[in-house]
C-alpha cells in the first residue's frame, strides 16, 4: 500500500528515516534495553530455588508468589522502578522516599504484594492507581516507633483485590475516613500509636458499621476477618465498647497492656480467635462471660501460674484450640481443662509440668487430637498415661528429659500419627515400645543417646512414612526395613553405620538426609538402591568420608534425583565425581574445598553428569577460578549462585557464554582476583543481556590470599587495565555487524536494498527480543558459497552430502541458487533458510571474501551463531589458502568455533575422503545436538 501510494523519492526518504530509527533502536536495545541489573535490587524467582533466601536476604513472601523484586536504599522511586521487571509479583522497597507520586507503580499489573519501608512518606490519592491485582499492602517501619504517615481517604480505592493491609511502626494521626476495599480480610496496625480503640472508628469508619447510630446509611456487609493491633503499647481499655458492632473472626492483641479478657463486655460476641500473647497476664479472671463462641485462644508467653477454673465460669464452651505455651504452669489446670468439652488442640509447651506428669482420666475432651508437652522437664511417662487419649493424632514431647520408653508408656494411642521425642535423654527403647501405635506415620527420634537401633525396635506402626533418627556420637542401624518410608533423616556426629541385608529397603524413599562425618555400610558388598530418591542432603561430611564410601553406599545412578545438597565440614577435600543424576535440577555444594588442586577440572567433571541442571549454588568451595569449560554443557542452567569465595578469577573466556549465561546470577560475599582478565565483568554486570546479576555493585578484589586492603575491583580495573573495552566490543558487535552489512550493499547504488534491510532488521530485532523460533528445521545444511565456486559445490560437495546412504548422507541441503524460488527476495529467503537449517556451511575462497553477497552470508551466519547459541552450527570450509585474520570477525568466530568446525581443503591439506568422513561426522553430531 505504502509503496503504491507514495512517490518514489518520498519513499526513499521514508526508508532512510525508518532505517535510522531502526538503527537507533537496535543500538539502544543492545546497550541498555536488555539489561536488567539494578543497583541495590534483588530480583529472584523463588520457585526456581526456594533456598535462595538462606544466601541472600530478601523480603518475606506470601505463599504462591515467587517472582520478586526487593530494592534497598531507594531514593528516587521512578529511577528504581524503571528497570524492575514489570511482571514481578512481589515488590519490596526500602529507603527514604518523601513522596510516592500518582501512578508510582504504573505498569506493574501483576503486582500482588507491595511492602514499603520508605520512612515518612506522602501518599497521594492516586499513588496506587492501576494495582488491580494487589492483595497485600504493607507499610513498615522498624523501631523506634513511630513515623507519621498520611493516607488520603480515597488512596486505597483503586485496590480492588486488596485482602491484607498492614501498618507497622506508623501512626496515622492525621488521616481519617480511609476507605477500605470490601475485599479486605486482614487489617494490621502493629506497633503503632493507638491509644484508644475509638481511633479505629475515625480512621476506618467502614469497620464499625454496627456502632453507627444511623444504621440505614449505605449498608455494607461486614467483611474484616482478622484485626491485628499487637504491640500498641499505649492501648487503653477505654473505649472498648466502641468496638461494638465490629464483626471479626480474629482479634490479635499481642503485647498490648489491655486487660483484654474484659473485652467480652465490648460485645465481640462473635469472635472466633483471640490472641493475647505476651500481654503479661498472670491469672485468668475467675469469671468472664461472652466468650461462648470463641474457638481459639492463644495465651502464650504470659506469666500464668495457675488457672482457677470453677465449673464453667469461663464459659469457653466452644473452645477448640488453646495455647498456654511459655507460661509458668507447674501443674495441669485440671479443673479448667475439664470445662473445655470441645478442645481439640492444646499447646502446653515450655512450662514446668515435669518431672512426672500424670494425666488423670477424663481430663481432656475426647476430641483432643493435638497435645504439645515439649520442653516441660518431663523425665518419666507413667505407664498407660495416654491410654484414654485414643483420638490423639499428634503428641509432641521434644526437649524433655525422658530416658526410656516401653510399650506401656504409649499404650492406647491407637490413632496417633505423629510422635516427636526428639532431644530427650533416650538411652533405651524397650522392644515393642511402638507396638501400640499402629497408625503412626511420623516419628522423630533426633538427639537421642541410642548407639544402635534396629528395625525390629521400630516395629508396630504399619504406615511409617517419615522417620528421623539421631544420636551422639555414633549410630549403628541394623536391618532398617521400611520400604514404605518416604523421608528419612539420620544424624550422628562421628559415623552412621548401616547393616543392611540384601534387598531394597528404601523402595519409595523420596527425601534422604544424612548428617555425619562417615558413612559405613556392612556388609561391604551390598548396594542400597534408591529408585525413588528425589532429594538428597549430605551434611557434615568429612575427609574420612571419601568418594569411595559414598560410591559404595549409593548406586551408580540416582535416576529421579532432582535436588542434591552437600555441605562438608571445613577443610575437607572430597572428590564429588559420584553418580549419574540425569534428572538433577538443583545442586548446592558447600564447604567442600575439594577443588584445592585442580578446581575447574573437578567442577567440570561433576557438571558433566547433570545435563538438566537449572540451579547451581556453590558456597565456600575455594574455587579460585571459573572458566567457560565448567558451564558449557549446562544448557538449562537458570540460576547460578556463588557464595563465600575468595580471590575468584573470572576468566575472560566466560564472555563467550554471555548469551546463554543463566537468567539469574548471584554473587554473595565473593571477592575477586585483582587482574585485568576480569575487566569484562563490569560492563557485563550492568548490561548483561537477559541476565539479572546481583552482588557486583562494589566488588572487592584481592591481590593474593592475604590481601585485606579491600581494593575495589572496578577502581583497580580502571587504573590498571586501560583496555577494558573488550566486552563493549562484543556487545556493540550486533549493531556493528548490521551496520557493516550495509556497506557492501551501498556500493550497489540501488535503493531496493533498503527493503531488504528492513526485512533483515525486522528479523534480527525480533530474535534479539528473545522470541526464539524453535520450530522445525527444513534443511540439514545451508550452503553458502559465491558464484565463482558454484561448480565445485554442485559437482563435488553436493553429491557426497545429498546422495542417499550408504554412499552419501542423504542430507537435505539448501543451495541459494537452486532452492530459492524464482522471484523470491534473495535476502528474505536467505534469512529464512538459515533459520531453518541445522547447520550453515560457508565455502570460503578469495573470491568469496571479495563478494559482498558471500560476506553478507558469512556475517549473517555469524549472527545466527552468536544470537542463537545452541540452535545453529557454523562450519567453515577453506578451499584456498586464506589469511584467516582477514576473515570478518575472525577473532570472535574463533571463540565460538571448535577445531572440528574448520575444514581446510586448500593445497591438499586434507584427503578428500577424510574430509568427507569428517564433514559427515560433524553434521551428524550437529543433527544430534539439535534434536536433543
Ligand X SMILES: *[C@@H]1O[C@H](CO)[C@@H](O)[C@H](O)[C@H]1NC(C)=O
The alpha carbon of 40 is separated from its chain's Cα centroid by a whole number of angstroms, namely 19
What's the closest the beta carbon of residue 705 comes to ligand X, in angstroms?
23
What's the closest the beta carbon of residue 509 comes to ligand X, in angstroms?
9
What's the closest the beta carbon of residue 403 comes to ligand X, in angstroms?
5
Contact 542, 518 (CB under 8 A): yes
- Quick one: cell of 834? 538459515
What's the closest the beta carbon of residue 53 comes to ligand X, in angstroms?
8
Decide: helix, strand or coil at residue 826: helix
* Contact pattern for ligand X over residues 306 through 325, marking x by CB under 6 A: -----------------x-x
Residue 515, beta-bridge partner list:
491, 539
732 touching ligand X, by CB under 6 A = no
Contact 427, 453 (CB under 8 A): no
372 touching ligand X, by CB under 6 A = yes
* Contact pattern for ligand X over residues 570 through 589, marking x by CB under 6 A: --------------------
609 touching ligand X, by CB under 6 A = no
Show Cβ contacts of residue 759 under 8 Å, excluding neighbours closer than 6 positions.
825, 827, 828, 831
Q: Which is nearer to ligand X, 356 or 601 (CB)?
A: 356
55 touching ligand X, by CB under 6 A = yes
487 touching ligand X, by CB under 6 A = yes
DSSP string for residues in 292-307: TT--EEE--SS---B-
Residues from 520 through 549 that contact ligand X (CB under 6 A): 535, 537
407 touching ligand X, by CB under 6 A = yes
66 touching ligand X, by CB under 6 A = no
415 touching ligand X, by CB under 6 A = no
Distance CA 696, CA 686 (A): 9
Closest CA to 753 of 9, 91, 19: 19
759 touching ligand X, by CB under 6 A = no
Q: Which is nearer to ligand X, 401 or 636 (CB)?
A: 401
396 touching ligand X, by CB under 6 A = yes
* Contact pattern for ligand X over residues 499 through 518, marking x by CB under 6 A: -----------xx-------
98 touching ligand X, by CB under 6 A = yes
Distance CA 843, CA 795 (A): 14
Q: Which stretch binds ligand X (CB under 6 A): 357-365, 372-380, 749-757, 894-902?
A: 372-380
What's the closest the beta carbon of residue 624 comes to ligand X, in angstroms?
21
125 touching ligand X, by CB under 6 A = no
Torsion of CA 532, 538, 543, 548, to 10 degrees: 0
99 touching ligand X, by CB under 6 A = yes
Q: Which stretch binds ligand X (CB under 6 A): 63-71, 314-322, 335-343, 371-379?
A: 371-379
Contact 923, 781 (CB under 8 A): yes
Distance CA 361, CA 366 (A): 11
612 touching ligand X, by CB under 6 A = no
Taking CA atoms, 922 is separated from 529, 781, 792, 839, 902, in Å, by 39, 11, 21, 10, 10
Q: Cell 539420620 maps to which residue?
A: 490
425 touching ligand X, by CB under 6 A = yes
Distance CA 466, CA 443 (A): 6
What's the closest the beta carbon of residue 569 comes to ligand X, in angstroms?
13
Q: Which is nearer to ligand X, 298 or 656 (CB)?
A: 298
What's the closest the beta carbon of residue 288 comes to ligand X, in angstroms?
23
175 touching ligand X, by CB under 6 A = no
Q: What angle do CA 854, 860, 862 make, to 5 degrees?
A: 105
653 touching ligand X, by CB under 6 A = no
Q: Which is nearer to ligand X, 128 or 903 (CB)?
A: 128
The alpha carbon of 343 is separated from its chain's Cα centroid by a whole number of angstroms, namely 39
What's the closest the beta carbon of residue 54 comes to ligand X, in angstroms?
4
* Contact pattern for ligand X over residues 349 through 368, marking x by CB under 6 A: x-------------------
- Quick one: cell of 201? 472508628
What's the closest the beta carbon of residue 15 comes to ligand X, in angstroms?
51
Q: Which residue in the set 107, 215, 431, 503 belongs to the binding site for ligand X (CB under 6 A)?
A: 431
Q: Which residue in the set 46, 120, 125, 636 belongs to the binding site for ligand X (CB under 6 A)?
A: 120
Q: What is the largest CA-CA distance in the chain?
A: 109
What's the closest the beta carbon of residue 644 comes to ligand X, in angstroms?
10
Torsion of CA 911, 916, 921, 925, to 10 degrees: 120
Q: Which stretch binds ligand X (CB under 6 A): 13-21, 401-409, 723-731, 777-785?
A: 401-409
Contact 374, 399 (CB under 8 A): yes
**Relative orientation angle of helices 753-768 and 8-28, to the nearest 10 degrees:** 30
HSE-CB of 180 using CA atoms within 13 angstroms: 28
Distance CA 98, CA 707 (A): 42
CB atoms within 10 A of CB 619: 19
Q: Which stretch binds ligand X (CB under 6 A): 250-258, 429-437, 734-742, 807-815?
A: 429-437
The alpha carbon of 740 is separated from its chain's Cα centroid by a whole number of angstroms, namely 42
Residues from 23 through 52 that contact ligand X (CB under 6 A): 51
How many positions of this chain bind ligand X (CB under 6 A)?
Answer: 32
Which letter, b or e, does each residue of 53-70 get, where b requires 16 or more Cβ atoms within 10 Å of its Cβ?
Answer: eebbebbebbeebbbbbb
Q: Which is nearer to ligand X, 148 or 715 (CB)?
A: 148
| Contacting residues toward ligand X, per CB under 6 A | 51, 54-55, 98-99, 120, 122, 300, 323, 325, 347, 349, 370, 372, 377, 379, 396, 401, 403, 407, 425, 431-432, 435, 466, 486-487, 510-511, 535, 537, 565
Amino acid at each position: 500500500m505504502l509503496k503504491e501510494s507514495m512517490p518514489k523519492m518520498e519513499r526513499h526518504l521514508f526508508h532512510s528515516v525508518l532505517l535510522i530509527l531502526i538503527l537507533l533502536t537496535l543500538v539502544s536495545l543492545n546497550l541498555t534495553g536488555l539489561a536488567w541489573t539494578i543497583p541495590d535490587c534483588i530480583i529472584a524467582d523463588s520457585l526456581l530455588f526456594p533456598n535462595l533466601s538462606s544466601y541472600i536476604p530478601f523480603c518475606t513472601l506470601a505463599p504462591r508468589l515467587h517472582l520478586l523484586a526487593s530494592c534497598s536504599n531507594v531514593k528516587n522511586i521512578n529511577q528504581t522502578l524503571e528497570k524492575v521487571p514489570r511482571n514481578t509479583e512481589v515488590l519490596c522497597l526500602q529507603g527514604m522516599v518523601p513522596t510516592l507520586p500518582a501512578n508510582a507503580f504504573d505498569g506493574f499489573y501483576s503486582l500482588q504484594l507491595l511492602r514499603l519501608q520508605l520512612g515518612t512518606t506522602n501518599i497521594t490519592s492516586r499513588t496506587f492507581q492501576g494495582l488491580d491485582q494487589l492483595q497485600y499492602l504493607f507499610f513498615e517501619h522498624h523501631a523506634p516507633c513511630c513515623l507519621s504517615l498520611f493516607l488520603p481517604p480515597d488512596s486505597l480505592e483503586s485496590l480492588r483485590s486488596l485482602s491484607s493491609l498492614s501498618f507497622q511502626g506508623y501512626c496515622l494521626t492525621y488521616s481519617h475516613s480511609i476507605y477500605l476495599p470490601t475485599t479486605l480480610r486482614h487489617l494490621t496496625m502493629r506497633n503503632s500509636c493507638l491509644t484508644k480503640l475509638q481511633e479505629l472508628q475515625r480512621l476506618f469508619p467502614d469497620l464499625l458499621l454496627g456502632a453507627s447510630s444511623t444504621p440505614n446509611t449505605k449498608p455494607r456487609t461486614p467483611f474484616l476477618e482478622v484485626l491485628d493491633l499487637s504491640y500498641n503499647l499505649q492501648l487503653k481499655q477505654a473505649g472498648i465498647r466502641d468496638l461494638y458492632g465490629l464483626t471479626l473472626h480474629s482479634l490479635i492483641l499481642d503485647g498490648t497492656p489491655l486487660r483484654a479478657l474484659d473485652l467480652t463486655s465490648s460485645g465481640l460476641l462473635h469472635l472466633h480467635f483471640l490472641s493475647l500473647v505476651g500481654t503479661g497476664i498472670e491469672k485468668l479472671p475467675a469469671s468472664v462471660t461472652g466468650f461462648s463462641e470463641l474457638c481459639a485462644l492463644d495465651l502464650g508467653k504470659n506469666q500464668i501460674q495457675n488457672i482457677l477454673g470453677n465449673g464453667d465460669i469461663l464459659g469457653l464452651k466452644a473452645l477448640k484450640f488453646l495455647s498456654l505455651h511459655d507460661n509458668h504452669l507447674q501443674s495441669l489446670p485440671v479443673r479448667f481443662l475439664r470445662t473445655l468439652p470441645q478442645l481439640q488442640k492444646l499447646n502446653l509447651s515450655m512450662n514446668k509440668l515435669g518431672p512426672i506428669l500424670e494425666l488423670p482420666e477424663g481430663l481432656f475432651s475426647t476430641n483432643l487430637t493435638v497435645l504439645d508437652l515439649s520442653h516441660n522437664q518431663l523425665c518419666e511417662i507413667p505407664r498407660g498415661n495416654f491410654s484414654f487419649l485414643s483420638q490423639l493424632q499428634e503428641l509432641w514431647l521434644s526437649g524433655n528429659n525422658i530416658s526410656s520408653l516401653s510399650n506401656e508408656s504409649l499404650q492406647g494411642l491407637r490413632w496417633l500419627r505423629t510422635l516427636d521425642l526428639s532431644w530427650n535423654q533416650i538411652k533405651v527403647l524397650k522392644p515393642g515400645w511402638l507396638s501400640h501405635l499402629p497408625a503412626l506415620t511420623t516419628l522423630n527420634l533426633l538427639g537421642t543417646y541410642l548407639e544402635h537401633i534396629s528395625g525390629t525396635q521400630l516395629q508396630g506402626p504399619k504406615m511409617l512414612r517419615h522417620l528421623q533418627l539421631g544420636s551422639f556420637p555414633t549410630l549403628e542401624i541394623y536391618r532398617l526395613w521400611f520400604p514404605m518410608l518416604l523421608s528419612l533423616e539420620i544424624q550422628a556426629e562421628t559415623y552412621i553405620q548401616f547393616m543392611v541385608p540384601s534387598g531394597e529397603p528404601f523402595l519409595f524413599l523420596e527425601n534422604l538426609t544424612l548428617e555425619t562425618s562417615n558413612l559405613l555400610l556392612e556388609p561391604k558388598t551390598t548396594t542400597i538402591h534408591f529408585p525413588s530418591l528425589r532429594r538428597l542432603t549430605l551434611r557434615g561430611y568429612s575427609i574420612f568420608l571419601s568418594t569411595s564410601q559414598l560410591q559404595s553406599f549409593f548406586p551408580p545412578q540416582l535416576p529421579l534425583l532432582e535436588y542434591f545438597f552437600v555441605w562438608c565440614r571445613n577443610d575437607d577435600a572430597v572428590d564429588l565425581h559420584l553418580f549419574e543424576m540425569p534428572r538433577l535440577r538443583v545442586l548446592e555444594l558447600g564447604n567442600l574445598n575439594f577443588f584445592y588442586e585442580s578446581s575447574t577440572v573437578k567442577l567440570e567433571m561433576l557438571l558433566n553428569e547433570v545435563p538438566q541442571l537449572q540451579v547451581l549454588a556453590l558456597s565456600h568451595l575455594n574455587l579460585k577460578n571459573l572458566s567457560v569449560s565448567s558451564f558449557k554443557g549446562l544448557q538449562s542452567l537458570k540460576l547460578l549462585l556463588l557464595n563465600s569465595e575468595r580471590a575468584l578469577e573470572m576468566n575472560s573466556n566466560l564472555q563467550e557464554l554471555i548469551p546463554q549465561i543463566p537468567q539469574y546470577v548471584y554473587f554473595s560475599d565473593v571477592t575477586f582476583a585483582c587482574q585485568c582478565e576480569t575487566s569484562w565483568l563490569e560492563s557485563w554486570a550492568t548490561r548483561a543481556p537477559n541476565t539479572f546479576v546481583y552482588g557486583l555493585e562494589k566488588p572487592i578484589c584481592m591481590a593474593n590470599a592475604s590481601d585485606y586492603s579491600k581494593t575495589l575491583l572496578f577502581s583497580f580495573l580502571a587504573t590498571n587495565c586501560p583496555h577494558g573495552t573488550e566486552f563493549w566490543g562484543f556487545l556493540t558487535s550486533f549493531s556493528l555487524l548490521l551496520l557493516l552489512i550495509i556497506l557492501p550493499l551501498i556500493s550497489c547504488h540501488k535503493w531496493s536494498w533498503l527493503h531488504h534491510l528492513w526485512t533483515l532488521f525486522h528479523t534480527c530485532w525480533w530474535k534479539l527480543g528473545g522470541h526464539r523460533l524453535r520450530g522445525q528445521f527444513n534443511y540439514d545444511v545451508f550452503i553458502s558459497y559465491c558464484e565463482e565456486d558454484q561448480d565445485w559445490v554442485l559437482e563435488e560437495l553436493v553429491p557426497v552430502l545429498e546422495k542417499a546412504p550408504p554412499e552419501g548422507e542423504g542430507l537435505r541441503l539448501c543451495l541459494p541458487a537452486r532452492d530459492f524460488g524464482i522471484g523470491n527476495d534473495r535476502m528474505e529467503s536467505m534469512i529464512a533458510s538459515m533459520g531453518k537449517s541445522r547447520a550453515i556451511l560457508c565455502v570460503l575462497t578469495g573470491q568469496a571474501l571479495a563478494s559482498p553477497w558471500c560476506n553478507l552470508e558469512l556475517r549473517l551466519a555469524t549472527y545466527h551463531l552468536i544470537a542463537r547459541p545452541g540452535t545453529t552450527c557454523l562450519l567453515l570450509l577453506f578451499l584456498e589458502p586464506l589469511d584467516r585474520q582477514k576473515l570478518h570477525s575472525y577473532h570472535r568466530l574463533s571463540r565460538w568455533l571448535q577445531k572440528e568446525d574448520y575444514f581446510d581443503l586448500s593445497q591438499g591439506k586434507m584427503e578428500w575422503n577424510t574430509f568427507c568422513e569428517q564433514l559427515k561426522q560433524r553434521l551428524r553430531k550437529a543433527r544430534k545436538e539439535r534434536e536433543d
